[in-house]
Copies of this chain bind each other. A is one copy, B any other.
């Protein structure tokens, strides 16, 4: 039992952005890209399927997405299938569920597709969608949606640790520059410090470029039991550790000091322990930069730097190529965009290509360990750690 292991054996992605494609088109496109990534697997071989999606009922006017998505990928599940949702952390949750389904013996191979169609004609729908993510009785009805929430987080961190607006902006500059090498990213033009600092104010101190982007997109991975994985590819990407926590809802109730996220620290510790590694062993990470401040706090709570030193960490280039750990080489949520249900799966796709040396010009050379982090609230975190062996 302790010896059973699970690995990624395929991964594909769609172009992220303001797409003309429908919800269904995006699924089919990600499905094709996933199968194209490993010609040893055909849709007929897949008997378990999980879709990660947050808002199809509102944005695509379509419920019951699991069988629809399976069908559009050519898959007929006879072992396990469902839709998994955990708001912005849905993708990582779905891969964890695939891991559980395989480890439980119900199946030995699962396809996971994450998708979101966000750019719909009615902006009212988008606005309502954003509201539906927080507590409608205690938060969103008072206007407490993600941007003001994370603005308050930023203010707390600046006050307590002296983090500066420039340091926040440098996260955005880094991620926008990374995405220039990612043809699937929503934004590919890069960004300068001046551009970020002078962009429109959203919720002080967060400016437009401090925020992730509403984006359409989808991504897929196939996860398999080690024995089967080895028969399908020479370079499986192993899941070494995982953890998940939700410590407090609604967001506004937790925690008292928003500059510190003990629940993320707890989850990270647990995932490192399961993987048998420490934070210094992580070579490359995709973390949940829904806002620049999130990435800074994540450096700290994931143990990449000391508490309070996240601002300096990015300023010193420690989260960029040549630094301690390359964070968000894909461009992250800020530059790839954030199609809710797809983001965690997009992170797994990055793990797949980075740990197989297939990431082209943004390859982190010699990367052995990859950490993926998704959040769905200040106290709600989802972590997966991947390794080459």
Across the interface, do B247 and A135 meet the contact criterion of CB distance under 8 Å? no
Residues 66-86 of A contacting B (Cβ, < 8 Å): 66-68, 70-71, 76-86
> Quick one: which of A64, A105, A266, A267 has the most chain B CB within 10 A?
A64
Q: Is the beta-carbon distance between A249 and B71 smaller than 8 angstroms?
A: yes
Q: Judging by beta carbons under 8 Å apart, are B67 and A380 in contact?
A: yes
Closest chain-B Cβ to A172's Cβ sits at a distance in Å of 26
- Digit string of A85-98 for contact with B (CB within 8 Å is 1, else 0)? 11100100100110
Stretch of A126-134, A181-189, A328-336 with 4 or more beta carbons under 8 angstroms from chain B: A126-134
Q: How near does chain B come to A264, taking the closest CB pair, in angstroms? A: 12
Looking at chain A's contact residues, the main secondary structure is mixed
Indicate if the CB atoms of A83 and B85 lie closer than 8 Å: yes
Number of interface residues of A (CB under 8 A): 62
CA distance A129 to B62 in the complex (A): 9
In the bound complex, do residue A63 and residue B97 qualify as a contact, i.e. CB atoms below 8 Å apart? no
Determine the residue in chain B with the shortest Cβ distance to A102. Answer: B104
B-side contacts of A66, CB under 8 Å: 85-86, 246
Q: Decide: B104 and A99 in contact? CB cutoff 8 A.
A: yes
26 A-B interface contacts by CB (under 8 A):
A1-B4, A54-B63, A55-B57, A61-B136, A63-B129, A64-B133, A66-B85, A66-B86, A67-B246, A70-B246, A76-B248, A77-B244, A77-B245, A80-B244, A81-B86, A81-B246, A82-B85, A82-B90, A83-B85, A97-B97, A100-B103, A100-B104, A103-B103, A103-B104, A103-B105, A106-B242
